[in-house]
Amino acid sequence: MSSSLPGTPRADGFRMPGEHEPQQAVLMAWPERADNWREAAGPAQRAFAAVAAAIAAATPVIMCISAAQRESARALLPAGVTLLEIPCNDSWMRDIGPTYVVNSQGEKRGIDWGFNAWGGEVNGLYPDWSLDAAMAASVLAARGEGRYRAPLVLEGGSIHVDGQGTCITTAECLLHPGRNPQLDQSAIGALLKDYLNVDKIIWLPRGLHNDETDGHVDNILHIAGPGEVLLTWCDDPVDPVFEICRECLAALELETDARGRRFTVHKLPMPGPLLLQPEEAAGIAPSGGMSRMAGERLAGSYANFLITNQRVVFPLLDPRHDDDARDILQAVFPQHQVVGVPGREILLGGGNIHCITQQIPL
């Protein structure tokens, strides 16, 4: 493991680009955990391969794998996908991979956040996360890129940035006692400003209902570009998401971004409610930390998509709403090709397309 750099990205003139900015590649990690992915991860592997293929048509994909999974990954993935042998405990690259920052000369470095399986001793999802915690440093070492070790437990799915000084997050996640109980909101905000090189943090109250990440922002909202966001929206007053999305909208309407712009908010329909089916639950190995019970509500969201070079890859989750979600995304991204990929098998593991990807900027 390479030693970490002194200083901070902000002090060194590095910033985290917005997801809508040009990308060199997209990182992913191959699923194999039988207590999270049903039928020994077979359906999930096919779903990850389909996502990788959709991204690879626009942007190179680097898939991290364990040695034991090399043959199965190679058989399912497009030939152009690069395999990088770095094992993980589970496959949420957004949360375990490096968050990249760049400077005006085009140099890239990565932030290595602390990782504790979404809550550590308080409410972490599995007891051993050592491989996941090492992923960011391992990727950066393999690629020969500098590494900032941030003094903060944080997952990449808990932050969105616009590349122009604004970060959007949720208080539910970043202030959860399972992350950084020694730090208050002001201290966490100051670290985000130093490591992402942003000037303003917008705190949404809560994330999506029943999201076992404690409400990651990327499962309820996505930044389309400066001053423009997409927000999951629910019109059923008896659904918990009804109040959550209205709280988020109210918070956005009270704020401007770092450059003083009011937000344009596009409402994405909420799929479902989607429930874990008995036959799906039956194929998942028992686990102490992760609840995978038949009838449990899944935290499904069309906001959990990836923007990559001239392409938007989003999850197909509900035939009643898939086309509406596609139309909204196409209207927001008129210069992009909007591609839907079946997302239910990924959702069964607790997230979706944005959660399993991490972009490397140009």
Q: Which residues are catalytic?
A: 355
Beta carbons of 350 and 35 less than 8 angstroms apart:
no
- What is the SS3 assignment for 265? strand
> For residue 70, which of 91, 80, 60, 84 has the smallest C-alpha distance?
84
The CA-based angle 219-106-92, given to 5 degrees, is 25
C-alpha to C-alpha distance for 95 and 156, rounded to whole angstroms = 4
**Signed CA dihedral, 232, 49, 162, 160: sign only:** positive
Place of tokens 């019970």: 293
Strand partners, 146: 109
Spell out a b/e string for 212-240, using b for 16 or more CB atoms within 10 Å of the CB, else e. Answer: bbbbbbbbbbbbbbbbbbbbbbbeeeebe
